[in-house]
Amino acid sequence: MSFGHESIEKNSALLVLLVILVVAVGGLVEIVPLYFQRSTTEPVAGLKPYTAVQLAGRDIYVREGCYNCHSQMIRPFRAETERYGHYSVAGEFVYDRPFQWGSKRTGPDLARVGGRYSDEWHRIHLDNPRDLVPESNMPAYPWLARSPADAGDIEAKLKVLRVLGHPYTDEDVAGARKALAGKTEQDALIAYLQVLGTSLKAR
């Protein structure tokens, strides 16, 4: 029996197996070298892991689906860097699991939103975006100001992230619950937004 193109096309199981093999090898060739490239595995100078409050805010950001309308990745094109700032680099996202890249922009990119607006601006915007941006189609999130930030599993999250390589100390873990005491979900989300992109700005 000859093992040629025609015989592979007629045998669907063999075709599927070979396609999976080719995709797996191609994927490994593309992905594995990145783990040995310092620019993709080492944090940029000044980058710190999220504090307990910022981490809780990031979880709220993901829970509420903010990533569906806001990307966090500025591409190296003049139109984007003039509007949003320095293009995104891999070292900024070393402590993001999962990272919030993407290209969907129903709303503006948030990669460099940290420090651009005051906390009060964010509070008004989250309560009702149209109070600040009349043409906005973003939904309002008024309940965040009334909901206490969940500190129930924050210590466990920090411990898991420490195992994954985030430089949290025992003091960070021990003080996590206290840091969230009295904070609302809105406070946590604003703390997260205010840190986005600031490490590269500082450079």
Write down the pTM of the prediction.
Answer: 0.80
Question: Is residue 102 pLDDT above 90, yes or no?
Answer: no
A 10 A CB-CB count for 85 gives 17
Question: Is residue 94 pLDDT above 60, yes or no?
Answer: yes
What confidence tens digit (pLDDT) does each residue in 136-164 have?
999 999 999 999 998 889 999 999 999 99
**Mean of pLDDT values over 34-60:** 85
**Mean of pLDDT values over 77-97:** 90
Q: Which two tokens stand for residue 161?
A: 């992230």
**Mean pLDDT computed over every residue of the chain:** 90
Q: Which two tokens stand for residue 180?
A: 């969230």
Q: At what angle do helices 185-195 and 119-127 cross, to 10 degrees?
A: 120
The three-state (H, E, C) secondary structure of the chain, written as one string? CCCCHHHHHHCHHHHHHHHHHHHHHHHHHHHHHHHHCHHHHCCCCCCCCCCHHHHHHHHHHHHCCHHHCCCCCCCCCHHHHHHHCCCCCHHHHCCCCCCCCCCCCCCCCCCCCCCCCCHHHHHHHHHCHHHCCCCCCCCCCHHHHCCECCCCCHHHHHHHHHHCCCCCCHHHHHCHHHHHCCCEHHHHHHHHHHHCCHHHHHC
Structure confidence at residue 19 (pLDDT): 92
What confidence tens digit (pLDDT) does each residue in 157-187 have?
999 999 998 999 999 999 999 999 999 999 9
CA dihedral 69→75→78→83, nearest 10 degrees, is 40
Question: Amino acid letter at 154?
Answer: I
Structure confidence at residue 127 (pLDDT): 96
Q: How far apart are CA 103 and CA 178, in angstroms?
A: 37
Q: How far apart are CA 146 and CA 127, in angstroms?
A: 11
**Mean of pLDDT values over 27-52:** 83
Go through the chain and tell me how many residues it has. 203
Residues 6+ apart with CB under 8 A from 61: 67, 100, 189, 192, 193
Q: Which two tokens stand for residue 93?
A: 């996202």
Question: Is residue 2 pLDDT above 80, yes or no?
Answer: no
Q: Which two tokens stand for residue 162?
A: 């420490």
Question: Is residue 203 pLDDT above 50, yes or no?
Answer: no
Structure confidence at residue 31 (pLDDT): 83
What confidence tens digit (pLDDT) does each residue in 5-36 have?
788 888 888 889 999 999 999 999 988 887 77
